[in-house]
Amino acid sequence: MAKIPVTIDDKPLEVETGRTILEACKENGIEILTMCHLEGIGDVGACRLCLVEIEGINKLLPACTTKVAANQVIKTKTERLKKYQRITTELFFAERNHICAVCVADGNCELQDLGYKVGMDHVRFPYLFPQANVDTSHPMYVMDHNRCIMCTRCVRVCSEVEGAHNWGIKNRGIEVRVISDFDTPWGDSTTCTSCSKCVNVCPTGALWPKTVVQGQLVKQPKMVSELVAKRKMNL
């Protein structure tokens, strides 16, 4: 495949056409913060953490959904970007009810790791404390809306990889929620296959097995990525 010249963080590169900026960065060892991205499933630009600056364009663009173009000059680590990443991370914590000390994912949470990466030592925004339910109706798993950050990984992996289409989205703004089978209890779902893919790709403690307790949750998001890669090889 043809390659085009781009410059990322002052580093001249040759990148295959059709690649996203995020893919180009990953292939060349340039770290970009992400939360909704997962290798093997489609990108939607939901978390806005992977924003980059492109010379000649005033607005910030998501690296996961923006394709590289010839002679682009891209910046991924400017002070402006770091400021927005810190704000975005704080808003994740302020929007729902994240209490790390009592969460099953404490110590193994991508949101928690993100807080450390951006240097977050407190949240400058008022907490919203929304009324968020916990769905324990499934015989094996729990959905805790208090810890959901609406990355939609669960929705996409259920649709694109498992093909069950159990998960969906309802409402907007602070009332937005992930729902099962047109807003029925997860345990009453007629489409869920109990495959655990959604549980494994969730970056927080929003989805977890009933067999674990505080601080014991271990997830395997790479398992899904490896599964998709194997399927592509067999095509």
213 three-class SS: coil
Specify the pLDDT at position 234: 73
Q: CB neighbours (10 Å) of residue 84?
A: 16
Cβ-proximal residues to 200 (8 Å cutoff; 6+ apart), any chain: 219, 220, 221, 223, 224
Domain 84-234 adopts which CATH fold? Alpha-Beta Plaits (3.30.70)
Cβ-proximal residues to 167 (8 Å cutoff; 6+ apart), any chain: 154, 155, 158, 159, 178, 179, 180, 198
pLDDT, one tens digit per residue, over 192-224 is 999 999 999 999 999 999 998 887 888 878 777
The runs of H, that is alpha helices, within the chain are 21-27, 79-95, 110-117, 153-157, 197-201, 221-234
Specify the pLDDT at position 199: 96
* Per-domain residue ranges of the chain: 3-77, 84-234
* DSSP secondary structure string for all residues of 54-83: ETT-SS-EETTT-B--TT-EEESS-HHHHH
26 three-class SS: helix
Per-residue pLDDT of the chain (235 residues), as tens digits, is: 799 999 999 999 999 999 999 999 999 999 999 999 999 999 999 999 999 999 999 999 999 999 999 999 999 999 999 999 999 999 999 999 999 999 999 999 999 999 999 999 999 999 999 999 999 999 999 999 999 999 999 999 999 999 999 999 999 999 999 999 999 999 999 999 999 999 999 999 999 999 988 878 888 787 778 878 777 777 6
Tokens of 128: 């919203």
Domain 3-77 sits in CATH at 3.10.20.740
User: Is the torsion defined by CA of 83, 9, 22, 111 positive or negative?
Assistant: negative
Of the candidates 234, 54, 224, which has an alpha carbon nearest to the alpha carbon of residue 156? 224
Q: How far is it, in rounded angstroms, from Cα 101 to Cα 36?
A: 23
Q: How many CA atoms lie less than 13 Å away from 32 in the CB half-sphere?
A: 30
**Angle of helix 110-117 versus helix 79-95 axis, rounded to 10:** 140
